[in-house]
Structure 1
Amino acid sequence: MGGGRTPGPIGSDTRPLHGSFDPHFPIGGFGTPGPLGLNEGGATGPRLTGWPRQISWDEFKDVAARPAGESEDAQIDTQTLQPERVGIAREQGQFRLGNFTVKLSVIRGNSWVVASQKSATLLAHEQGHFDITGLVARDLVKALGALRVSTTDELQREVSRLFETYDAWAKSLSKQYDDETNNSRNAKVQAEWASRIRTCIQQGTSLGTPPG
Protein backbone atom coordinates (compact mmCIF):
# COMPACT_ATOMS: atom_id res chain seq x y z
CA MET A 1 0.00 0.00 0.00
CA GLY A 2 1.14 3.51 -0.51
CA GLY A 3 0.81 7.20 0.07
CA GLY A 4 -2.71 8.36 0.75
CA ARG A 5 -3.92 5.50 2.96
CA THR A 6 -3.79 4.78 6.65
CA PRO A 7 -0.97 2.39 7.55
CA GLY A 8 -1.72 -1.00 9.05
CA PRO A 9 -1.13 -1.81 12.73
CA ILE A 10 2.49 -2.84 12.37
CA GLY A 11 4.03 -0.04 14.42
CA SER A 12 4.71 3.65 14.10
CA ASP A 13 7.62 5.95 13.48
CA THR A 14 8.25 7.64 16.82
CA ARG A 15 10.93 10.03 15.62
CA PRO A 16 9.95 13.69 16.04
CA LEU A 17 9.05 15.44 12.81
CA HIS A 18 11.53 18.25 12.33
CA GLY A 19 9.05 20.29 10.36
CA SER A 20 5.86 22.20 10.79
CA PHE A 21 3.46 19.41 9.90
CA ASP A 22 1.06 17.79 12.31
CA PRO A 23 2.75 14.45 13.15
CA HIS A 24 -0.69 12.84 13.54
CA PHE A 25 -1.87 13.86 10.08
CA PRO A 26 -2.92 10.82 8.00
CA ILE A 27 -0.59 9.22 5.49
CA GLY A 28 -0.39 10.98 2.17
CA GLY A 29 2.43 13.25 3.12
CA PHE A 30 0.64 16.54 3.58
CA GLY A 31 -0.17 18.41 6.75
CA THR A 32 -1.07 21.90 7.85
CA PRO A 33 2.00 24.18 7.88
CA GLY A 34 3.01 26.15 10.92
CA PRO A 35 3.38 29.93 11.24
CA LEU A 36 5.10 31.78 8.46
CA GLY A 37 7.96 34.16 9.18
CA LEU A 38 8.48 37.37 7.23
CA ASN A 39 11.56 37.45 5.02
CA GLU A 40 12.01 40.33 2.61
CA GLY A 41 15.17 39.21 0.91
CA GLY A 42 16.15 37.25 -2.17
CA ALA A 43 13.85 34.26 -1.89
CA THR A 44 12.95 32.23 -4.95
CA GLY A 45 10.17 29.99 -3.63
CA PRO A 46 9.64 26.37 -2.59
CA ARG A 47 11.36 23.33 -4.09
CA LEU A 48 10.98 19.56 -3.69
CA THR A 49 13.73 17.13 -2.70
CA GLY A 50 13.82 13.38 -2.01
CA TRP A 51 11.98 12.55 -5.23
CA PRO A 52 12.11 11.20 -7.90
CA ARG A 53 14.20 8.21 -6.92
CA GLN A 54 13.99 4.42 -6.75
CA ILE A 55 12.84 2.87 -3.50
CA SER A 56 14.15 -0.48 -2.21
CA TRP A 57 13.02 -3.22 0.15
CA ASP A 58 15.58 -1.90 2.63
CA GLU A 59 13.08 0.87 3.37
CA PHE A 60 10.42 -1.64 4.48
CA LYS A 61 10.11 -3.63 7.69
CA ASP A 62 10.00 -7.40 7.10
CA VAL A 63 6.96 -9.12 8.64
CA ALA A 64 6.07 -12.80 8.70
CA ALA A 65 2.43 -12.29 7.73
CA ARG A 66 0.01 -9.54 6.80
CA PRO A 67 -1.18 -7.46 9.75
CA ALA A 68 -4.77 -8.07 10.81
CA GLY A 69 -7.26 -6.60 8.38
CA GLU A 70 -4.78 -6.16 5.53
CA SER A 71 -5.35 -7.69 2.09
CA GLU A 72 -2.00 -6.80 0.53
CA ASP A 73 1.55 -8.03 0.99
CA ALA A 74 3.26 -4.65 1.32
CA GLN A 75 2.55 -1.09 2.33
CA ILE A 76 4.56 2.09 1.93
CA ASP A 77 4.02 5.16 4.11
CA THR A 78 5.40 8.54 3.08
CA GLN A 79 5.65 12.00 4.55
CA THR A 80 6.34 15.43 3.13
CA LEU A 81 8.18 17.81 5.44
CA GLN A 82 8.91 21.51 5.28
CA PRO A 83 11.16 23.56 7.59
CA GLU A 84 9.70 24.91 10.82
CA ARG A 85 9.84 28.48 9.55
CA VAL A 86 8.87 29.44 6.04
CA GLY A 87 9.82 32.86 4.80
CA ILE A 88 7.45 35.36 3.26
CA ALA A 89 8.61 37.74 0.55
CA ARG A 90 7.05 40.86 -0.95
CA GLU A 91 6.63 41.15 -4.68
CA GLN A 92 4.98 44.12 -6.35
CA GLY A 93 2.82 44.85 -3.32
CA GLN A 94 1.78 41.24 -2.76
CA PHE A 95 3.01 38.50 -0.47
CA ARG A 96 4.41 35.19 -1.63
CA LEU A 97 6.30 32.31 -0.07
CA GLY A 98 10.03 32.66 0.26
CA ASN A 99 12.70 30.11 -0.46
CA PHE A 100 12.28 26.77 1.33
CA THR A 101 12.61 23.04 0.72
CA VAL A 102 9.85 20.44 0.88
CA LYS A 103 11.23 16.92 1.39
CA LEU A 104 9.47 13.68 0.48
CA SER A 105 10.62 10.60 2.38
CA VAL A 106 9.55 7.07 3.31
CA ILE A 107 8.50 6.45 6.92
CA ARG A 108 10.26 3.15 7.46
CA GLY A 109 8.52 2.40 10.75
CA ASN A 110 5.16 2.33 8.98
CA SER A 111 6.27 0.65 5.74
CA TRP A 112 6.24 -3.15 5.70
CA VAL A 113 6.40 -6.18 3.43
CA VAL A 114 5.62 -9.85 3.98
CA ALA A 115 9.16 -11.21 3.70
CA SER A 116 8.20 -14.34 1.79
CA GLN A 117 6.30 -12.31 -0.82
CA LYS A 118 9.04 -9.91 -1.88
CA SER A 119 9.27 -9.61 -5.64
CA ALA A 120 10.23 -7.12 -8.31
CA THR A 121 6.56 -6.87 -9.30
CA LEU A 122 5.43 -6.00 -5.79
CA LEU A 123 8.23 -3.48 -5.32
CA ALA A 124 7.29 -1.85 -8.64
CA HIS A 125 3.74 -1.45 -7.37
CA GLU A 126 4.97 0.24 -4.19
CA GLN A 127 7.23 2.43 -6.35
CA GLY A 128 4.05 3.55 -8.09
CA HIS A 129 2.56 4.67 -4.78
CA PHE A 130 5.73 6.59 -3.94
CA ASP A 131 5.77 8.23 -7.36
CA ILE A 132 2.09 9.19 -7.19
CA THR A 133 2.79 10.96 -3.91
CA GLY A 134 5.85 12.58 -5.47
CA LEU A 135 3.96 13.82 -8.50
CA VAL A 136 1.27 15.35 -6.30
CA ALA A 137 3.94 16.90 -4.06
CA ARG A 138 5.59 18.38 -7.15
CA ASP A 139 2.28 19.92 -8.23
CA LEU A 140 1.73 21.21 -4.70
CA VAL A 141 5.13 22.91 -4.72
CA LYS A 142 4.24 24.58 -8.03
CA ALA A 143 0.95 25.79 -6.59
CA LEU A 144 2.67 27.11 -3.47
CA GLY A 145 5.21 28.95 -5.57
CA ALA A 146 2.46 30.60 -7.61
CA LEU A 147 0.63 32.05 -4.59
CA ARG A 148 0.35 35.85 -4.63
CA VAL A 149 -2.00 37.40 -2.07
CA SER A 150 -2.66 40.74 -0.38
CA THR A 151 -2.03 39.85 3.28
CA THR A 152 0.08 37.44 5.30
CA ASP A 153 -3.06 36.03 6.93
CA GLU A 154 -4.48 35.24 3.52
CA LEU A 155 -1.20 33.59 2.56
CA GLN A 156 -1.34 31.35 5.61
CA ARG A 157 -4.92 30.36 4.85
CA GLU A 158 -4.13 29.59 1.23
CA VAL A 159 -1.09 27.50 2.14
CA SER A 160 -3.16 25.44 4.58
CA ARG A 161 -5.95 25.03 2.04
CA LEU A 162 -3.52 23.83 -0.64
CA PHE A 163 -1.93 21.25 1.66
CA GLU A 164 -5.33 19.85 2.60
CA THR A 165 -6.56 19.85 -1.00
CA TYR A 166 -3.49 18.13 -2.42
CA ASP A 167 -3.46 15.61 0.41
CA ALA A 168 -7.00 14.60 -0.54
CA TRP A 169 -5.96 14.36 -4.18
CA ALA A 170 -2.98 12.11 -3.33
CA LYS A 171 -5.27 9.79 -1.37
CA SER A 172 -7.79 9.67 -4.21
CA LEU A 173 -5.16 8.88 -6.84
CA SER A 174 -3.55 6.23 -4.65
CA LYS A 175 -6.90 4.52 -4.11
CA GLN A 176 -7.66 4.70 -7.83
CA TYR A 177 -4.26 3.14 -8.55
CA ASP A 178 -4.94 0.21 -6.21
CA ASP A 179 -8.50 -0.27 -7.43
CA GLU A 180 -7.61 -0.26 -11.11
CA THR A 181 -4.52 -2.45 -10.78
CA ASN A 182 -6.20 -4.75 -8.24
CA ASN A 183 -3.23 -4.09 -5.99
CA SER A 184 -0.77 -4.99 -8.80
CA ARG A 185 -2.54 -8.25 -9.68
CA ASN A 186 -3.78 -6.88 -13.02
CA ALA A 187 -0.48 -6.85 -14.91
CA LYS A 188 -1.85 -5.04 -17.96
CA VAL A 189 -3.31 -2.13 -16.01
CA GLN A 190 -0.25 -2.04 -13.74
CA ALA A 191 1.94 -1.57 -16.82
CA GLU A 192 -0.37 1.19 -18.07
CA TRP A 193 -0.12 3.03 -14.78
CA ALA A 194 3.66 2.61 -14.72
CA SER A 195 3.89 4.11 -18.20
CA ARG A 196 1.61 7.00 -17.27
CA ILE A 197 3.60 7.76 -14.13
CA ARG A 198 6.92 7.54 -15.97
CA THR A 199 5.70 9.94 -18.67
CA CYS A 200 4.52 12.46 -16.07
CA ILE A 201 7.88 12.33 -14.30
CA GLN A 202 9.89 12.73 -17.48
CA GLN A 203 7.74 15.43 -19.07
CA GLY A 204 6.97 17.40 -15.93
CA THR A 205 3.24 16.88 -16.35
CA SER A 206 0.50 16.01 -13.85
CA LEU A 207 -1.44 12.79 -13.32
CA GLY A 208 -4.61 14.80 -13.85
CA THR A 209 -5.91 18.30 -13.43
CA PRO A 210 -4.44 19.61 -10.17
CA PRO A 211 -7.06 20.82 -7.69
CA GLY A 212 -7.65 24.55 -7.46
Structure 2
Amino acid sequence: MCENPSPAQSNRPAPAAPSQDVAHAGFRAAQPQGAAAAPGQPGPTLTGWPRQLAWSDFRDIQSRPRGESEDARISMGFRPGRVRVVEEESEHRLGEMEFAMVLNPAGSWVVATSKTAELLAHEQGHFDIVGLCYRDLTVEARTIRGSSRNRLLLEMRRIMREHDQRAESLTREYETQTEHGRNQANQQAWQRQMATSRQSGLPLTAPPVAAE
Protein backbone atom coordinates (compact mmCIF):
# COMPACT_ATOMS: atom_id res chain seq x y z
CA MET A 1 0.00 0.00 0.00
CA CYS A 2 0.98 3.65 -0.31
CA GLU A 3 1.36 6.20 2.43
CA ASN A 4 -1.42 8.61 3.44
CA PRO A 5 -5.19 8.20 3.15
CA SER A 6 -7.07 8.72 -0.10
CA PRO A 7 -10.60 7.84 -1.19
CA ALA A 8 -9.26 4.31 -1.56
CA GLN A 9 -7.82 4.32 1.98
CA SER A 10 -4.05 4.58 2.52
CA ASN A 11 -3.33 4.57 -1.16
CA ARG A 12 -1.47 7.76 -1.93
CA PRO A 13 2.17 8.78 -2.29
CA ALA A 14 3.34 11.33 0.24
CA PRO A 15 3.94 14.84 -1.12
CA ALA A 16 7.49 16.10 -1.28
CA ALA A 17 8.63 19.61 -0.48
CA PRO A 18 7.58 22.17 -3.08
CA SER A 19 9.99 23.74 -5.51
CA GLN A 20 10.77 27.37 -4.84
CA ASP A 21 9.75 28.20 -8.40
CA VAL A 22 6.48 26.44 -9.05
CA ALA A 23 3.52 25.53 -6.89
CA HIS A 24 3.60 21.90 -5.83
CA ALA A 25 0.65 19.92 -7.08
CA GLY A 26 2.19 16.69 -5.78
CA PHE A 27 0.62 13.28 -6.34
CA ARG A 28 -1.86 12.56 -3.62
CA ALA A 29 -2.40 9.53 -4.17
CA ALA A 30 6.11 8.58 -17.15
CA GLN A 31 8.08 8.69 -23.50
CA PRO A 32 8.61 4.86 -22.71
CA GLN A 33 11.04 3.64 -20.01
CA GLY A 34 11.26 7.04 -18.36
CA ALA A 35 11.08 10.47 -19.90
CA ALA A 36 14.42 11.61 -21.27
CA ALA A 37 14.13 14.41 -23.78
CA ALA A 38 14.52 13.38 -27.41
CA PRO A 39 17.68 14.59 -29.21
CA GLY A 40 17.28 18.21 -30.23
CA GLN A 41 14.34 18.65 -27.83
CA PRO A 42 15.78 19.64 -24.46
CA GLY A 43 13.32 20.05 -21.66
CA PRO A 44 12.17 18.46 -18.41
CA THR A 45 13.35 14.94 -17.65
CA LEU A 46 12.32 12.39 -15.05
CA THR A 47 14.74 10.79 -12.58
CA GLY A 48 14.16 8.06 -9.99
CA TRP A 49 11.93 5.93 -12.20
CA PRO A 50 11.85 3.29 -13.57
CA ARG A 51 13.72 1.09 -11.14
CA GLN A 52 13.19 -2.18 -9.34
CA LEU A 53 12.27 -2.00 -5.68
CA ALA A 54 13.94 -4.20 -3.09
CA TRP A 55 13.03 -4.87 0.51
CA SER A 56 16.02 -2.71 1.46
CA ASP A 57 13.90 0.27 0.32
CA PHE A 58 11.53 -0.46 3.22
CA ARG A 59 12.01 -0.10 6.94
CA ASP A 60 11.56 -3.37 8.86
CA ILE A 61 8.98 -3.37 11.63
CA GLN A 62 7.97 -6.24 13.89
CA SER A 63 4.20 -5.93 13.58
CA ARG A 64 1.60 -3.84 11.84
CA PRO A 65 0.99 -0.41 13.33
CA ARG A 66 -2.32 -0.08 15.13
CA GLY A 67 -5.19 0.24 12.67
CA GLU A 68 -3.25 -1.18 9.72
CA SER A 69 -4.61 -4.15 7.79
CA GLU A 70 -1.66 -4.59 5.41
CA ASP A 71 1.88 -5.89 5.85
CA ALA A 72 3.69 -3.23 3.82
CA ARG A 73 3.37 0.40 2.85
CA ILE A 74 5.29 2.49 0.35
CA SER A 75 5.57 6.28 0.51
CA MET A 76 6.57 8.29 -2.55
CA GLY A 77 6.96 11.94 -3.44
CA PHE A 78 7.33 14.24 -6.40
CA ARG A 79 10.11 16.82 -6.41
CA PRO A 80 10.19 19.31 -9.28
CA GLY A 81 13.62 20.88 -9.65
CA ARG A 82 14.38 24.52 -10.17
CA VAL A 83 12.23 25.71 -13.04
CA ARG A 84 14.03 27.00 -16.11
CA VAL A 85 11.96 28.95 -18.61
CA VAL A 86 13.14 29.53 -22.18
CA GLU A 87 11.75 32.35 -24.30
CA GLU A 88 11.48 31.64 -28.01
CA GLU A 89 10.11 34.54 -30.04
CA SER A 90 6.73 35.25 -28.43
CA GLU A 91 6.43 31.93 -26.56
CA HIS A 92 7.79 30.55 -23.31
CA ARG A 93 8.55 26.89 -22.66
CA LEU A 94 10.20 24.87 -19.93
CA GLY A 95 13.94 24.44 -20.36
CA GLU A 96 16.20 21.73 -19.00
CA MET A 97 15.12 20.72 -15.50
CA GLU A 98 14.49 17.54 -13.55
CA PHE A 99 11.37 16.08 -12.05
CA ALA A 100 12.44 13.56 -9.42
CA MET A 101 10.45 10.62 -8.13
CA VAL A 102 11.63 9.94 -4.60
CA LEU A 103 10.94 7.36 -1.93
CA ASN A 104 10.23 8.40 1.62
CA PRO A 105 12.21 5.85 3.68
CA ALA A 106 10.57 6.86 6.95
CA GLY A 107 7.11 6.18 5.54
CA SER A 108 7.95 2.95 3.68
CA TRP A 109 7.81 -0.12 5.90
CA VAL A 110 7.25 -3.87 5.85
CA VAL A 111 6.51 -6.39 8.57
CA ALA A 112 9.82 -8.24 8.72
CA THR A 113 8.25 -11.71 8.76
CA SER A 114 6.00 -10.97 5.76
CA LYS A 115 8.53 -10.33 3.02
CA THR A 116 7.26 -12.35 0.09
CA ALA A 117 7.86 -11.95 -3.62
CA GLU A 118 4.12 -11.43 -4.10
CA LEU A 119 3.96 -8.60 -1.59
CA LEU A 120 6.99 -6.88 -3.09
CA ALA A 121 5.44 -7.18 -6.56
CA HIS A 122 2.31 -5.48 -5.26
CA GLU A 123 4.32 -2.60 -3.82
CA GLN A 124 6.25 -2.37 -7.08
CA GLY A 125 2.90 -1.92 -8.78
CA HIS A 126 2.12 1.12 -6.63
CA PHE A 127 5.53 2.53 -7.49
CA ASP A 128 5.13 1.93 -11.22
CA ILE A 129 1.62 3.36 -11.45
CA VAL A 130 2.85 6.64 -9.99
CA GLY A 131 6.02 6.48 -12.09
CA LEU A 132 4.02 6.08 -15.29
CA CYS A 133 1.94 9.11 -14.37
CA TYR A 134 5.12 11.10 -13.65
CA ARG A 135 6.45 9.95 -17.02
CA ASP A 136 3.37 11.23 -18.82
CA LEU A 137 3.51 14.49 -16.89
CA THR A 138 7.13 14.98 -17.92
CA VAL A 139 6.37 14.26 -21.58
CA GLU A 140 3.47 16.72 -21.58
CA ALA A 141 5.55 19.34 -19.74
CA ARG A 142 7.94 19.43 -22.70
CA THR A 143 5.08 20.40 -25.04
CA ILE A 144 3.39 23.21 -23.13
CA ARG A 145 3.84 26.83 -24.15
CA GLY A 146 2.75 30.14 -22.66
CA SER A 147 2.66 33.73 -23.83
CA SER A 148 4.44 34.68 -20.59
CA ARG A 149 6.33 32.96 -17.79
CA ASN A 150 3.32 33.23 -15.50
CA ARG A 151 0.96 31.72 -18.07
CA LEU A 152 3.43 28.89 -18.66
CA LEU A 153 3.60 28.11 -14.94
CA LEU A 154 -0.18 28.26 -14.64
CA GLU A 155 -0.42 25.69 -17.42
CA MET A 156 2.19 23.57 -15.65
CA ARG A 157 0.15 23.61 -12.46
CA ARG A 158 -2.93 22.59 -14.41
CA ILE A 159 -1.31 19.50 -15.94
CA MET A 160 0.20 18.58 -12.57
CA ARG A 161 -3.30 18.56 -11.09
CA GLU A 162 -4.58 16.43 -13.94
CA HIS A 163 -1.87 13.81 -13.55
CA ASP A 164 -2.30 13.96 -9.77
CA GLN A 165 -5.97 13.06 -10.14
CA ARG A 166 -5.18 10.34 -12.66
CA ALA A 167 -2.62 8.75 -10.36
CA GLU A 168 -5.10 8.74 -7.50
CA SER A 169 -7.81 7.17 -9.63
CA LEU A 170 -5.51 4.44 -10.94
CA THR A 171 -4.12 3.57 -7.52
CA ARG A 172 -7.66 3.30 -6.14
CA GLU A 173 -8.59 0.89 -8.92
CA TYR A 174 -5.37 -1.07 -8.47
CA GLU A 175 -5.83 -1.53 -4.74
CA THR A 176 -9.49 -2.46 -5.09
CA GLN A 177 -9.17 -4.81 -8.04
CA THR A 178 -6.12 -6.64 -6.70
CA GLU A 179 -7.62 -6.79 -3.19
CA HIS A 180 -4.38 -5.35 -1.80
CA GLY A 181 -2.39 -7.91 -3.81
CA ARG A 182 -4.32 -10.94 -2.59
CA ASN A 183 -6.08 -11.50 -5.93
CA GLN A 184 -3.16 -12.85 -7.94
CA ALA A 185 -5.04 -13.11 -11.26
CA ASN A 186 -5.92 -9.42 -11.15
CA GLN A 187 -2.46 -8.52 -9.80
CA GLN A 188 -0.87 -10.17 -12.84
CA ALA A 189 -3.31 -8.41 -15.16
CA TRP A 190 -2.21 -5.06 -13.74
CA GLN A 191 1.46 -6.00 -14.03
CA ARG A 192 0.99 -6.88 -17.70
CA GLN A 193 -0.85 -3.62 -18.31
CA MET A 194 1.92 -1.60 -16.69
CA ALA A 195 4.58 -3.40 -18.73
CA THR A 196 2.68 -2.62 -21.92
CA SER A 197 2.39 1.05 -20.98
CA ARG A 198 6.12 1.24 -20.26
CA GLN A 199 7.07 -0.38 -23.55
CA SER A 200 4.61 1.50 -25.76
CA GLY A 201 4.72 4.92 -24.13
CA LEU A 202 0.92 4.98 -24.07
CA PRO A 203 -0.83 6.23 -20.91
CA LEU A 204 -1.69 3.55 -18.36
CA THR A 205 -5.30 2.44 -18.14
CA ALA A 206 -6.86 -0.10 -15.82
CA PRO A 207 -6.84 -3.58 -17.34
CA PRO A 208 -9.91 -5.77 -17.79
CA VAL A 209 -10.00 -7.97 -14.71
CA ALA A 210 -12.06 -10.80 -13.31
CA ALA A 211 -15.27 -9.78 -11.59
CA GLU A 212 -14.93 -9.33 -7.85
Describe the superposition over 1:58-113 as per-residue Cα deviations: whole angstroms up to 9, x where unpaired: 11111122222222111111112122x21111234211111101111211110111
TM-aligned CA deviation for residue 163 of structure 1:
1.5
Q: What does residue 76 of structure 2 align with? A: 78
Matches within 5 A, 1:113-124: 113-124=110-121
Give structure 1 stretches of 5+ with no counterpart.
29-41
TM-aligned CA deviation for residue 2 of structure 1:
2.6
Q: Does the CA contact (< 8 Å) of 1:43 and 1:98 recur in 2? A: no
Q: Does the CA contact (< 8 Å) of 1:4 and 1:171 recur in 2? A: no
Q: What does residue 39 of structure 1 align with? A: none
Matches within 5 A, 1:26-45: 27-28=28-29, 44-45=42-43
Q: Which amino acid aligns with 2:192?
A: S
Q: What does residue 2 of structure 2 align with? A: 2
Query: Using the alignment, how far apart are the partners of 2:167 and 2:3 within structure 1?
Result: 7
- Say how many residue pairs are matched: 190
TM-aligned CA deviation for residue 161 of structure 1:
1.7
The change in CA–CA distance for 1:207 and 1:155 in structure 2 (over 3 A counts) is same
Q: Does the CA contact (< 8 Å) of 2:59 and 2:108 recur in 1? A: yes
Query: Using the alignment, how far apart are the partners of 1:177 and 1:186 within structure 2?
Result: 11
Q: 2:49 aligns with which of 10, 34, 51?
A: 51
Q: What secondary structure does 1:146 align onto?
A: coil
TM normalised by structure 1 equals 0.80
Q: Does the CA contact (< 8 Å) of 1:3 and 1:171 recur in 2? A: no
Query: Using the alignment, how far apart are the partners of 1:64 and 1:180 within structure 2?
Result: 28
Q: What does residue 38 of structure 1 align with? A: none
Q: Does the CA contact (< 8 Å) of 2:75 and 2:105 recur in 1? A: yes
Q: What does residue 62 of structure 1 align with? A: 60
Q: What secondary structure does 1:86 align onto?
A: coil
Q: 2:188 aligns with which of 175, 187, 191?
A: 191
Query: Using the alignment, how far apart are the partners of 1:201 and 1:43 within structure 2?
Result: 21
Q: 2:201 aligns with which of 192, 199, 204?
A: 204
Give structure 2 stretches of 5+ with no counterpart.
30-39, 207-212
Query: Using the alignment, how far apart are the partners of 1:4 and 1:205 within structure 2?
Result: 28
The change in CA–CA distance for 1:70 and 1:22 in structure 2 (over 3 A counts) is farther
Percentage of matched positions with identical amino acids: 37
TM normalised by structure 2 equals 0.80
